[in-house]
Amino acid sequence: AAAAAAAGRCGRDPCGALCPLLTYLGVGYADYAVLAHVLPQPALRGSPWCPFHAAAFNFIVLLLLASHTRAVLADPGERPPATGRPHIPAEPPPPRAQGWEDWTVCDRCEAYRPPRAHHCRVCHRCVRRRDHHCPWINNCVGELNQKYFIQFLFYTGLASLYAMGLVLAAWLGPAGRSPAGMVTGGDGTNNRVQTAHCIVLLLESLLFGAFVAVVFYDQV
């Protein structure tokens, strides 16, 4: 049911279908670049910490994808849908609900909603403690899934910092600065390919790291 709801939101918001795909592609490329082009660099491949870095980075990526999936599929705190009858509110609040006198009726979906619930024009529903509709998770950020969204931001920032640190370690390490370390296996072309992937990974990490840092600060 959650997957069907997420698929339905994609039909209403093309950007919401594209942004999660870009997220998965970006994370997949970062994992590939770290394993295939950063860790094999002379400054890192001979280190006993190389297997640890590979396992640790993939563990962070796993947590990132898990939290993103939870944020996408979780109910953000949706109010019950309207009855379908014009001008007849759906499901009045429980008589003993805390602060029930502050409940209002949404003039768009015609349903009772508690305080701090807001209507989403993309999802066409009221969401409790709605913060915003995020295309990167193709879902609203609300009362029930904000925790997963913050976790996703944290792990994305952590993965970005880790990737940047590995790239800098590969370039600034003793083997990376030495003339012998400038060529991997005597193949200058292979070295240039690795350097190109390191530059792309560094730019991607800087871009996504700065973006999620700002959003994470706002959420906290």
Active-site positions? 134
Q: What is the Cα–Cα distance from 51 to 10, expressed in whole angstroms?
A: 39
What residues contact residue 106 under an 8 Å CB cut-off, 6+ apart? 79, 112, 113, 117, 119, 126
> Hey, CA dihedral for 11, 15, 19, 21, is it positive or negative?
positive
What residues contact residue 152 under an 8 Å CB cut-off, 6+ apart? 64, 67, 68, 71, 137
Phi-psi region of 138 (alpha: psi -120 to 50; beta: other; left: phi over 0): left
Q: How many C-beta neighbours within 10 Å does residue 119 have?
A: 17
What tokens does 131 get?
A: 């913060």
